[in-house]
Amino acid sequence: MILVTGGAGYIGSHTCISLIEAGFDIVVYDNFSNSSKKSLQRVESIVERNIPLVEGDIRDKEVLQDVFDKYDIDSVIHFAGLKAVGESVQKPLEYYDNNINGTIALCEVMRDNGCKKIVFSSSATVYGDPKSVPISEDFPLSATNPYGRSKLFIEEILRDIYVSDATWKIILLRYFNPVGAHKSGLIGEDPNGIPNNLMPYISQVAIGKRDYLSVFGGDYATNDGTGVRDYIHVEDLADGHVKALENIDKFDGVKAINLGTGQGYSVLEVVKAFERASEKKVPYKIVGRREGDIQSCYADPSYAKKVLDWSAKHGINDMCKDAWNWQSKNPNGYGS
């Protein structure tokens, strides 16, 4: 049985589908601080089976222990965490408590129950402002905000756990920019309030909820002056987790692996691709740079290919098409 913390969230819900389709049995653990029970109900309708769910906080060791008592947990995929960069600057203590103390509590309960395999949701944010692109796993690590620092600290904590006990198997998946939605249009990204991220913001402009997109910076040294990122379809990301679990027993030590496509797109290229996919106009205005943003960030994905035999299958057109399918079928997300 695989324990999926944060399994009701955006990436977690898509990964639940891929895990079940690959034949894994799962139990989801979530406190619904940033998700809806509807996402799991829809996952159940897609996979046509019930998924065991425990409502709880990863910092609550008693509830976690109950899960280990009730289910025979072999491995953990650990998505649960807070993820908004700007909010983390305003609420550093909440972010460190939730993300770091939560991971420590989870690992303690895992250790106490002899469960020592974990796949952790890390982020390309751990590369800080990279010296060059594409970014490979051996690049120097740094952080510029509490969210990123929590990811960096957790990576280090997991390395220390391995040093103390080499029977642990630990994979750090460093995601680039997850976008898109399940092809059914039943599950997708459902941000609270005004979206911070590009793709959900564009989707809300296309559907008419927002007037225009503010493009943060038109003076970067990129082909059209706007920031470049490695957008990756959430279904590809979900498959990366399946590959990680299928291969984890082969690995020694802590493996950090990039999950990206290796292809960078500028903000304006994404706008154009979205307009094509949705057949809607996406008005935009170029405004000043957003504080903390970097110019260009995309993966060297060759290590994931080598050790997991994984590479992204979907291009930017699929990502926009599926994001639009979800947005147009669910104009108010799970509250629709």
Q: Taking CB under 6 A as the rule, does residue 123 contact ligand UFG? A: yes
- Number of residues near ligand UFG (by CB under 6 A): 21
State the pairing for strand pair 169-175/177-179.
Answer: unpaired
Residues that bind ligand NAD (CB under 6 A): 6, 8-12, 30-35, 57-59, 79-83, 98, 102, 121, 123, 175, 178
Q: Which of 25, 269, 290, 334 binds ligand UFG (CB under 6 A)?
A: 290
Residue 176 beta carbon to ligand UFG: minimum distance, rounded to whole angstroms: 6
Residue 194: exposure state from Cβ atoms within 10 A (0-12, 13-18, ≥19): exposed
Task: Give the whole-angstrom CA distance, residue 246 versus residue 167.
Answer: 17
Give me the least distance between CB of 195 and ligand UFG, in Å please: 7
Least distance between ligand UFG and beta carbon 125 (Å): 3
Residue 253 φ then ψ, to 5°: 75, -170
Nearest approach, Cβ of residue 299 and ligand UFG (Å): 10
The number of beta carbons lying within 10 Å of the beta carbon of residue 193 is: 5
From the list 176, 177, 171, the residue with the least C-alpha distance to 257 is 171
Question: Between residues 64 and 213, which has the closer beta carbon with respect to ligand UFG?
Answer: 213
Helix (H, G, I), strand (E, B) or coil at 332: coil
- Please choose which of ligand UFG, ligand NAD, none residue 33 contacts, taking the beta carbon within 5 to 8 angstroms, the exact cut-off set by kind: ligand NAD
Strands 228-229 and 265-266: antiparallel
Cβ–Cβ under 8 Å, residues 183 and 235: yes
Q: Which is nearer to ligand UFG, 51 or 271 (CB)?
A: 271
Q: Which residues pair with 28 in a beta bridge?
A: 4, 53
Closest CB 78 distance from ligand NAD, rounded Å: 8
In b/e form, how buried is each residue of 246-262, taking b as 16+ CB within 10 angstroms?
ebbeebeebbbbbbbbb
DSSP annotation of 111 reads H
CB closer to ligand NAD, 241 vs 286: 241
Tell me how far, at minimum, the Cβ of 65 lies from ligand UFG, in Å. 31
Written as six digits, the tokens of 203 are 């989707």
Closest residue to bound ligand NAD by CB: 9
| List 58, 85, 205, 254, residue binding ligand UFG (CB under 6 A) | 85
Bridge partners for 228 per DSSP:
266, 296
Q: Which does 57 bind (CB under 5 to 8 A by kind): ligand NAD, ligand UFG, none?
A: ligand NAD
- The enclosing H or E element of 258 equals strand 254-259
Closer residue to ligand UFG in complex, CB, 177/325: 177
CA 161 to mean position of chain CA atoms: 23
User: Is the CB of 214 or the CB of 311 nearer to ligand UFG?
Assistant: 214
| Interaction residues for ligand UFG, span 138-177 (CB under 6 A) | 175-177
Task: Report how far Cα 39 is from the mean position of its chain's Cα atoms.
Answer: 16
Binds 227: which of ligand NAD, ligand UFG, none (CB < 5-8 Å by kind): ligand UFG
Q: Nearer to ligand UFG by C-beta: 86 or 253?
A: 86
Q: What positions carry a catalytic annotation?
A: 147
Q: Which residues bind ligand UFG (CB under 6 A)?
A: 83, 85, 123-125, 175-177, 196-198, 201, 213-216, 227, 229, 267, 290, 293
